[in-house]
Amino acid sequence: MTATAPLRVACLGAGYFSQFHYDAWARIKDVALVGSADLDLSAAEATGLEAFDSLARMIEQTRPDILDIILPPGGHAASIRTAISAGISTVICQKPFCLDLAEATQIAAEAQTAGVNVIVHENFRFMPWYRAIKASIDAGDIGTILQATFRLRPGDGQGPRAYLDRQPYFQSMPQFLIHETGVHWVDTFRYLFGDPVAVYADLRRINPVLAGEDAGFVVFDHPSGVRALFDGNRLLDHKSDNHRRTMGEALIEGAEGSLKLLGDGSVALRKFGHMNATQVLPPDQWQGFGGDCVHALQAHVVSALLDGAALENTCQDYLTVIRIRDAIYRSTETGTKIGI
């Protein structure tokens, strides 16, 4: 059964990244923002919406169709259970999803039993360059894919003050590069190449102020012989006017050509044996985060609810991402390739 516009949206959380959620919701047709909740009531009030310091009270007074949870993992399970108990039909929840695989699996089961859509806010696959790359792959532009590389180079991880001005909790995360950041490409590689059957990882910590790792390599064995490399180093940069746009560069290579993503968000196609490349996607002009991928994800959910289309990133499907993440850490611990 499809929903009816306008969809009422309430948001839980008013921290740093929430600004992109609130801005995107305000620009989506057929949506009405009805409330913001945060333990810091002043932060919720700063959104300009009706403000609450209690999720239960916000739900009771605003009766949203969609609850957008913009919290760290420790708050996910309890918030989703509150939404389920209140009869909310659709929840969007930020990543990393829940505290661990066991908790995520339990929440996914409870949501499925209750008939509640829980969508993980994994937005990188919605970046316009990955949509363009996917369309080019599906069109057969580069033929059979043989390998792919993404080089993460945000250049924000040097020195004792790394991350303190934007997301200070990064410094204390016991698992950092993959759990917080690399997981975006775990999901994006799945989107582009299918679920991997095995991973091999070599992770390390370079900046001593961090509790977790900030650099390393992960090799993914994808179906049909595709090998993908995630080459991550948060201390190094890449050529870009905005290092948080793409956060690095990618190269996808096939038997009939290759696709290259640059730091300006552009994608170029070079056919096998040719010297020149053609532009598949022009440089990105969006001044906010990640090619406006937050808006693209949220608009996808709204469209699916109104039109009855299939939802991407359901929490049941996202369990695979968590399993792959855990396998990456097991591979580093054991020094072996881990089957998924």
Residue 259 has pLDDT above 60, yes or no: yes
- Across the range 265-282, mean pLDDT stands at 98
**pLDDT score at 224:** 92
| Span 20-64, pLDDT tens digits | 999 999 999 999 999 999 999 999 999 999 999 999 999 999 999
Report residue 5's pLDDT band, with 50, 70 and 90 as the boundaries: confident
Specify the pLDDT at position 117. 97
What angle, rounded to 10 degrees, do the helices at 55-62 and 76-85 form?
30
Distance between CA atoms of 330 and 105, rounded to whole angstroms?
Answer: 19
Q: Is pLDDT of 1 > 60?
A: no
Per the model's pLDDT, the better-predicted residue between 2 and 198 turns out to be: 198
All domains of the chain in start order, with CATH: 7-121 (3.40.50.720), 125-290+322-339 (3.30.360.10)
> Under a CB-based contact definition with an 8 Å cutoff, are residues 50 and 36 in contact?
yes
- Altogether, the residues listed in the chain come to a count of 340
Structure confidence by residue, pLDDT tens digits, 53-111: 999 999 999 999 999 999 999 999 999 999 999 999 999 999 999 999 999 999 999 99
Q: pLDDT tens digits, residue range 218-242?
A: 999 999 999 999 999 999 999 999 9
Which H or E run includes 153? none
Q: What is the pTM of this model?
A: 0.95
Which of 130, 69, 48, 82 shows the shortest CA–CA distance to 298?
Answer: 69
pLDDT at 167: 87
Per-residue pLDDT tens over the stretch 109-118: 999 999 999 9
Helices and strands, counts by H and E, the chain: 9, 15
pLDDT score at 281: 98
- Which tens digit of pLDDT belongs to each residue from 132-180? 999 999 999 999 999 999 999 999 999 999 999 988 999 999 999 999 9
